[in-house]
Amino acid sequence: MKNKRKVNENISGSEILLLSLLEEETDTVFGYPGGAIMPVFDALYDYKKELRHILVRHEQAAVHAAQGYARVSGKVGVALVTSGPGATNTITGIADAMIDSTPVVVISGQVVSSLLGTDAFQEIDIVGISQPVTKWSYQVRKAEDIAWAVAQAFYIARTGRPGPVVLDFTKDAQLATAGYYYEKCKSIRSYIPCPSINKDSIRQAAEAINSAEKPFALVGQGVELGNAEKELLDFIEKAQIPSAWTLLGASVIPSEHQLNKGMLGMHGNLAPNLKTNECDVLIAIGMRFDDRVTGNLNEYAKQAKIIHFDIDPAETGKNVDVDIPVLGNVKETLPEVTKLLKKVSRNDWIESFDIAAQEEYDKVIENEIYGKEKYITMGEVVRCVSEATGDEAVIVTDVGQNQMMGARYSKRKNPRSFISSGGLGTMGFGLPAAIGAKIGAPDRTVCLFCGDGGIQMSIQELGTIMQSNVKVKIIILNNKYLGMVRQWQEMFHNKRYSATPMLNPDFVKLAESYRIKGRKVSQREDLNAAIGEMLEHNGAYLLEVEVEKKGMVFPMIPAGTAVTNVILEK
């Protein structure tokens, strides 16, 4: 093994970097080579068995793939790129990781130190550019600083509220030699990743819940990031608290759990949105009160006492006034509150969700998922795929109508089973994220739902699938429109479909050109057989389904209105 180096052995900065990655248990790197990072790729040649390199077709895809890998595995994703455009191409992925709290380390090459500030070929200040969208961004100019910088980067990326870190390595730092010694980072002065638990807040939260008649929990990705799924179930089950989830919290509670009342937000389920403005205690757990969840803040949960569990002090009170902030990792804070909760029965409150749920089923869900319409619907495809996988698959989505349908109509039994671009809403995220997810969870089925628009923003990554033999299942929900924008144009812009109709290629032939098996379905009677063929195929597969051109995602809460202002039909 190459990483069995003697302490203080003199080796190149490039090899120090690779050994440091191995010390942080990195097994996969997503990247694209170039001149300023070439010494690292040269060193990587000798580490093929220890570090798998996935050659993407675009640097943005390297970060999205690292995100998918991190989200499904719980580890830190790593991307490796060159300077100049290689580095700037990562910014969208970095920003996406920042707002969605995904731990990734992006390593970029840089010109030699003597040329810094001279506008040398492919020189760009990636540290300055990336600082607003990273937890930490740092340039390494000396080989002896590399091990220290990597240790800091991984510690910052994975601790507290996770997020992206950028390390920029000058070429001379990669080529120079230094003594190798690695020590994992355990703390950084002035950086407090997790606040201390406040016992008074714990007590106040428990008292508020115990005295509540209609408590309601809003659950986000923070539970998943804290690996606190069991602690959450213990909490809501003891106090019989109905719960709903944000988009990124979709797989935190099993779909069939009796206390799971569905998705929050603009295209969420009717009952949880209405009950937000009816409950007497609102318990936010690892979520940040995004505007897509809250709607008009002046009309949001004004009747409720609000408890907010979060690891990031900056989030409590940022958007919504909080009565009881409970700071800390929810894996630690939830059990402390659970100890103080009374076992109660809240059957009347829990069952009250059923009235709105039935209304939504009758007006929206039944028609959407059971083939009541003339044309195949997106929700119908999602339901069929989910059922065919036994609800065990990792569901990845792109952004748009496919995303909302994927969240609404797939079911999930296991944690870390739903991956999507939440806060940034990045079209093109889906395909590379699915690649990363499949590599991060090779024994799980990974199904990607994407639209005909989003897939074409990163369709070159079919080449990555071909070269690295990534067995991801791709389902294109083709409505020949930029569907979500078209929906807004139909509802709010007098059906003026400006720049939303799509003229598309033959996706199946395109897939076949990348040696990926594919099939197109336009008739309902062919759908289940095609899904079965896709799942049985031992390899990547692209299934294109022609769906209703002007399908709508309902319910919908118009932007800027109250969460109770729900539209169920045209």
What tens digit of pLDDT does each residue of 447-500 get? 999 999 999 999 999 999 999 999 999 999 999 999 999 999 999 999 999 999
Classify residue 466: in a domain, yes or no. yes
Query: Same structural domain for residues 120 and 154?
Result: yes
Check: CB of residue 138 under 8 Å from CB of residue 166: yes
Does the residue 358 lie in any domain?
A: no
Give a yes or no: residue 555 inside a domain: no
Q: What share of the chain has pLDDT > 90, as a percent? A: 97
What angle separates helix 229-239 from helix 330-340, to the nearest 10 degrees?
A: 20
pLDDT in tens, 125-183: 999 999 999 999 999 999 999 999 999 999 999 999 999 999 999 999 999 999 999 99
Confidence of residue 4 (pLDDT cuts 50, 70, 90): low
In this structure, the dihedral spanned by the alpha carbons of residues 309, 310, 315 and 319, taken in order and rounded to 10 degrees, is: -30
Same domain? For 215 and 132 the reply is no
171 is catalytic: yes
Distances (CA, A) of 405 to 60, 247, 322, 552, 557: 25, 11, 32, 10, 15
Task: Clarify whether 122 is annotated catalytic.
Answer: yes
Cα 99-30-175 angle, rounded to 5 deg? 110
DSSP 3-state of 13: helix
**Which phi-psi region, left, alpha or beta, contains residue 169 (left: φ > 0; alpha: ψ -120 to 50)?**
beta
Catalytic site includes residue 59: yes
d(CA 268, CA 253): 16
- At 374, the pLDDT band (50, 70, 90 cuts) reads confident
Known active-site residue 258: no
- The pLDDT tens digits for 53-72 are 999 999 999 999 999 999 99
Q: How far is residue 533 from each of residues 387, 499, 510, 569, measured CA to CA in Å? A: 14, 35, 19, 34
What range defines the domain where residue 240 resides?
Answer: 199-353
- Helices 13-23, 146-158: inter-axial angle, 10-degree rounding: 30
- Average the pLDDT over 509-534 and give the result: 98
For 179-202, b/e burial (b = at least 16 CB within 10 A) is ebebeebeeeeeeebbbeebeebb
Domain-ending residue, one of 179, 208, 223 = 179
Residue 320: phi, psi to the nearest 5?
-125, 135
- Does any domain span residue 560? no
> Do 115 and 222 belong to one domain?
no
The answer to whether residue 553 sits within a structural domain is no
Residues 312-357: tens digit of each pLDDT:
999 999 999 999 999 999 999 999 999 999 999 999 999 999 999 9
Residues 398 and 333 in one domain: no
* Residue 247 clears pLDDT 80, i.e. is over it: yes
The one catalytic residue in 15, 59, 229, 231 is: 59
Task: Read off the pLDDT band of 373 (50, 70, 90).
Answer: confident
Q: How many domains does the chain have?
A: 3
The DSSP H or E segment spanning 438 is helix 430-440
Q: Look at residue 3 in the predicted model and tell me its pLDDT.
A: 53
Across the range 297-304, mean pLDDT stands at: 97
Does 395 lie in the same domain as 330?
no
In a shared domain, residues 160 and 267: no
Instruction: Report how far residue 338's alpha carbon sits from residue 76's, in angstroms, rounded to the nearest whole number.
Output: 30
Specify the pLDDT at position 371.
Answer: 76
Please tell me the predicted confidence (pLDDT) of residue 16.
Answer: 97
Torsional class of 227: left (φ above 0), alpha (ψ -120 to 50), beta (otherwise):
left
The yes-or-no answer on residue 489 being catalytic is no
Nearest Cα neighbor of 546 from 481, 498, 473, 496 is 481
Among 147, 179, 211, the domain boundary falls at: 179
DSSP-derived 3-state class of residue 37: helix
Q: What is the CATH number of the domain that holds 336?
A: 3.40.50.1220
Question: Are 138 and 241 part of one and the same domain?
Answer: no
In a domain, 161, yes or no: yes
From the list 6, 121, 184, 366, the catalytic residue is: 121
Please give the mean pLDDT across all residues of the chain: 97
CA distance 479 to 451: 8
pLDDT of residue 6: 63
Residues 540 and 549: beta-carbon distance below 8 Å: no
The C-alpha angle 565, 567, 569, rounded to 5 degrees, equals: 165
Query: Active-site residue among 122, 131, 240, 467?
Result: 122
Decide if 241 contacts 283 (C-beta within 8 A): yes
Point out the catalytic residue in the list 171, 275, 305, 331: 171
482 & 423 share domain: yes
* Residue at which a domain ends, from 121, 148, 179: 179
570 falls within a domain: no
Residues 100, 27 share a domain: yes
- The vertex-68 CA angle with 272 and 294, nearest 5°, equals 25
Cα angle at 520 between 550 and 406, to 5 degrees? 55
For residues 190-203, average pLDDT: 97
Structural domain contains residue 47:
yes
Residue 274 sits in the same domain as residue 330: yes
DSSP alpha helix (H) spans, 322-429 = 330-340, 347-351, 353-360, 366-369, 378-388, 401-409
Interstrand relation of 9-12 and 177-180 (parallel, antiparallel or unpaired): antiparallel
Confidence of residue 1 (pLDDT cuts 50, 70, 90): very low
Q: How many CB atoms lie within 10 A of CB 173?
A: 28
Element at 175 (helix H, strand E): helix 171-175
CATH number of the domain to which 392 belongs:
3.40.50.970
**33 and 83 fall within a common domain:** yes
Catalytic residue among 98, 405, 484, 556: 484
Question: Are 222 and 324 in a shared domain?
Answer: yes
